[in-house]
Chains A and B, each alone.
Chain A
């Protein structure tokens, strides 16, 4: 090699390469693909590619009766199916002016909150799995199993419950369930303390999370991020407080918000939320009224009057909104689903720019994405 061909180190061309994370990768929890343009170990641009599990739920809504679409809603976010059922059922109830008895409302809140805890426990396990810690997953699934057993006993299913109906819930809860839930709530508080000793205080975890993956309130506003992501940026936005639905107005609970905006803040928001959910469940059980669980004025063939109705709930991952347009037929004219994960994912590209790859994956885990929820 002659001397003239030697390239001096300072003139090295800027080289980037593309790294594909997913669609089948242990760190993406599903079929999400990230096209990462890497500059060495740093992310220059991370482009999420979705659509691998697109099932046309919205279009399916236009092809089946109002009641037949109900099982679909549980499949959008399978980890928090109760809240999704709740949003759809309540939207149709609003459109068709169906009364829901108070006992059913309380049962809905109790089961939704149990479902939220179980969803956060899956996130807790999976997030730490992303970061390289395997054992917390087993602890989390031990507790989650108790919730699933309780919910299975009353709904008959462990994941896609389809428990709510227009005008109430399909089965009443029994004394066994109430006792089981009280036992679970009593047992979960010491477990949470144990999680904090085992995981939250851990120095390795703190080094991976504190100050990593900043998402500010401005970025949340820009992309419409909701749920623990916006609360981790210090904005106490929660649909249960902002637009109280069901019986949340009568219940006493706090919205945890941490202003740091890093992965640790989002972690702490979710852990705090588990505790608040336990509070809600306890109050719900205390206040649980007697009475029927199905409203009397539910028509056999449901034809909501023509119009446009919205209903938003706070799902485990943020604001889930159902908008239905009826033209007074047995089949919806349009079902629009606004899912939280889609918005929460869209800020990833901006937030992850310039981060190291392992940190970017920590950020991705802290967003708590459920891929069917993005694609729906």
Chain B
């Protein structure tokens, strides 16, 4: 059984198809909005919530974290483990191990908010895909140290000390 279609409806239907096609064709002459990702990428927003990283003290070059474990308590997914040691001649503890299990992290940002001394911040890293689980369990303290070695921290430290 075929529904009866009036000529008016056919004309209206055809018109709707042509009108839609006009928009599609118009799109040809508009600039592309996509970015060819691996070759070019967009800048991350300043407030981008990536995984966390430790912040270094500008003056001493050491991490600001003193292992108070507030972030550990605030974390809903239980993915942070902080260990600190008390060094000779220092008032506060200093961090010796900061383990982040990124496989569990839900990127909620509670840890950064809980930190009273601004010792952790969000990293801008987003290419974190990996084939092994172990790579996502990272020690942020070691990472910071490795980073220090790579960027040649002693140089900057020297200039700072000279500036003082």
**CB distance A153 to B47 under 8 Å?**
yes
**CB distance A156 to B45 under 8 Å?**
yes
Report the nearest A residue to B3, measured CB to CB. A207
Is chain A's interface secondary structure helix, strand, loop, or mixed overall? helix
Q: How far is the CA of A1 from the CA of B107 in the complex (A)?
A: 71
List 8 A-B pairs, Cβ < 8 Å.
A67-B74, A68-B74, A72-B76, A156-B48, A156-B49, A162-B109, A197-B19, A198-B20
Report the nearest B residue to A201, measured CB to CB. B16
**CB distance B16 to A152 under 8 Å?**
no
**CB distance A202 to B47 under 8 Å?**
no
Q: How far is the CA of A145 from the CA of B75 in the complex (A)?
A: 30
Most B CB within 10 A of own CB, among A68, A154, A202: A68
**CB distance A152 to B108 under 8 Å?**
no
Per-residue A-contact encoding for B93-107, CB less than 8 Å = 1, 0 else:
000000000000011
Q: How far is the CA of A261 from the CA of B27 in the complex (A)?
A: 34
Known: A67-B74, A156-B49. A198 touches B109 (CB 8 A): no
Among B15-33, those with CB < 8 Å from A are: 16-17, 19-20, 23-24, 33
**CB distance B45 to A153 under 8 Å?**
yes
Q: How far is the CA of A9 from the CA of B82 in the complex (A)?
A: 77
Number of interface residues of B (CB under 8 A): 25
**CB distance B12 to A69 under 8 Å?**
no
Taking the closest CB of chain A, its distance from the CB of B20, in whole angstroms, is 5
Interface residues of A (CB under 8 A from B): 64, 67-72, 75, 135, 142, 145, 149, 152-157, 160, 162, 170-171, 194, 197-199, 201-204
Report the nearest B residue to A151, measured CB to CB. B45
Taking the closest CB of chain A, its distance from the CB of B51, in whole angstroms, is 12
The answer to whether the Cβ of B110 comes within 8 Å of any Cβ in the partner chain is yes
- Given A72, A135, A171, which contacts B47 in the complex, CB threshold below 8 Å? A171
Closest 3 CB pairs of A and B: A203-B13, A68-B76, A71-B108
Interface residues of B (CB under 8 A from A): 12-14, 16-17, 19-20, 23-24, 33, 45-49, 74-76, 106-110, 113, 122
**CB distance B16 to A69 under 8 Å?**
no
Q: How far is the CA of A171 from the CA of B108 in the complex (A)?
A: 14
Which B residues are in CB contact (< 8 Å) with A64? 76
Which B residues are in CB contact (< 8 Å) with A199? 20
Report the nearest A residue to B47, measured CB to CB. A156
Q: How far is the CA of A69 from the CA of B19 in the complex (A)?
A: 49
Q: How far is the CA of A304 from the CA of B19 in the complex (A)?
A: 58
Q: How far is the CA of A170 from the CA of B76 in the complex (A)?
A: 17
- Given B12, B23, B76, which contacts A71 in the complex, CB threshold below 8 Å? B76
Taking the closest CB of chain B, its distance from the CB of A148, in whole angstroms, is 10
**CB distance B122 to A156 under 8 Å?**
yes
Which A residues are in CB contact (< 8 Å) with B19? 197-198, 201
Which B residues are in CB contact (< 8 Å) with A149? 45
Q: How far is the CA of A220 from the CA of B47 in the complex (A)?
A: 42
Taking the closest CB of chain A, its distance from the CB of B19, in whole angstroms, is 5
Report the nearest A residue to B24, measured CB to CB. A135
- Given A71, A135, A142, which contacts B110 in the complex, CB threshold below 8 Å? A71
- Given B16, B23, B49, B108, which contacts A203 in the complex, CB threshold below 8 Å? B16
Which A residues are in CB contact (< 8 Å) with B23? 194, 197-198
**CB distance A156 to B74 under 8 Å?**
no
